Amino acid sequence: MLPGVGFIAGDDPRFAGTVARIEKELWHGPYIARYADEDDFGKPQVAFNACTFWYIDALTLLGRTSEARELFENMLAVRNSLGLLSEDIDPVSGELWGNFPQTYSMVGLIHSATRLSKSWEDAF
């Protein structure tokens, strides 16, 4: 989200470093966890869907569009029969966990779809 709020440019090496650190610390298969440290509930077992969408956006900004699209298509595939997502997902089983349906997840889906789409100028 750093470039999206104007905090740093998408092509800044510090942004690429932040994304690399996220990959190292929070990557769970095709999903990104909210945090890795143990809390009152123990070590997190699920990934936070909004973080996965933020990661997809970050990959797009870094020019890693094919990776971003693959992860986006995976997120589309794990939606329920109504096309909705929960707050979290079990990275092993793909089971949707947490608050359901989750607005953050659905807004993330829409935002990532927009970022991965062609602009009007390029489409026509």
pLDDT of the residue at 64: 95
The model carries a pTM of: 0.90
What is the pLDDT at residue 22?
A: 95
Residue 113, pLDDT score: 96
Predicted pLDDT at 38: 87
Banded model confidence at residue 83, pLDDT cuts 50, 70, 90: very high
Boundaries of every domain in the chain = 13-117
- Separation of alpha carbons 8 and 94, rounded Å: 33
Tell me the HSE value of 25 on the side-chain side, using a 13 A CA sphere.
11
Per residue in 94-114, pLDDT tens?
A: 999 998 888 899 999 999 999
Angle at 86 between CA 81 and CA 89, to 5 degrees: 100
Pairing of strands 88-89, 96-97: antiparallel
